[in-house]
Amino acid sequence: MEEKSVKEFQSFLESMGIHYNLIEKDIDGERQIFCHFPNGDVNFFKIASTGTSSLALLYGWYIQMEKASFVFIDEFDAFYHFELAENVVKILKELQNTQIILTTHNTDLMSNELLRPDCYYLIGEKRITSINNATEKELRRAHNLQKMYKAGAFNA
C-alpha cells in the first residue's frame, strides 16, 4: 500500500469511529500496515477485531468501486454493530454512477433517515418486494419503518 493510501485508509477508519495511528513498514521485503503506539508498533491485522478486519477488506473494495457500475455485498454488516453498519451505508451512498445492493438481517437499518422506502426490499420465498409495494399505507418520512416491519405491516 502506498504511504498516501495508508493515510487514506486511516482516514476511512476514523470516519467509521476507529482511531489508530497507522504506518507502513517493510518486513522481509513485504510492505505491511502497523499501528504505531508510544511503546512500539504492532501489526494492524494482529490486533484488529473481526469487524475492523472486515472494514479493511471493504476499504480495498471501496477504492475499486468507483470503477464499477454494479456492486452486490451479501450480509455486508455481519461483523458490524449498528452505528458502523449505518456509517458504511452512508459512505457507499456517496459513490456516483455505481448501483449498490446490500443484504442484511438488521432491521435497525430500516430508516427513512438512511434510505427512501422504495430502496428497501423484502426477500421471501420466490419473490422480492419493495416495502412501499408491500403495504397499502402511503409511506411517509415520519413513519418508523422498523416498527412497521416488526408489527407486520409489510406482510401483504
How is residue 2 written as a grid cell?
502506498
Residue 48, domain member (yes or no) = yes
Amino acid letter, residue 73: I
Residue 29, domain member (yes or no) = yes
Number of domains in the chain: 1
Residue 120, domain member (yes or no) = no
- CB contact at 8 A, 133 and 125: no
CA dist., res. 44 & res. 47, Å (int)? 6
For CA atoms 107, 111, 115, 121, give the dihedral sign. positive
Residue-wise pLDDT tens for the chain (156 aa)?
A: 455 589 999 999 999 999 999 999 999 999 999 999 999 999 999 999 999 999 999 999 999 998 999 999 999 999 999 999 999 999 999 999 999 999 999 999 999 999 999 999 999 889 999 999 999 888 988 899 999 999 999 986
Q: What pTM was computed for the model?
A: 0.85
Residue 139, domain member (yes or no) = no
pLDDT at 129 (0 to 100): 93
- CB contact at 8 A, 67 and 96: no
Residue 115, domain member (yes or no) = no
CATH number at residue 19: 3.40.50.300
pLDDT at 156 (0 to 100): 60
Residue 151, domain member (yes or no) = no
pLDDT at 125 (0 to 100): 86
Tell me how far CA of residue 14 lies from CA of 17, 22, 126, in angstroms: 5, 11, 41
Expressed as residue numbers, the domain containing 96 is 3-109
Residue 30, domain member (yes or no) = yes
Residue 146, domain member (yes or no) = no
pLDDT at 23 (0 to 100): 96
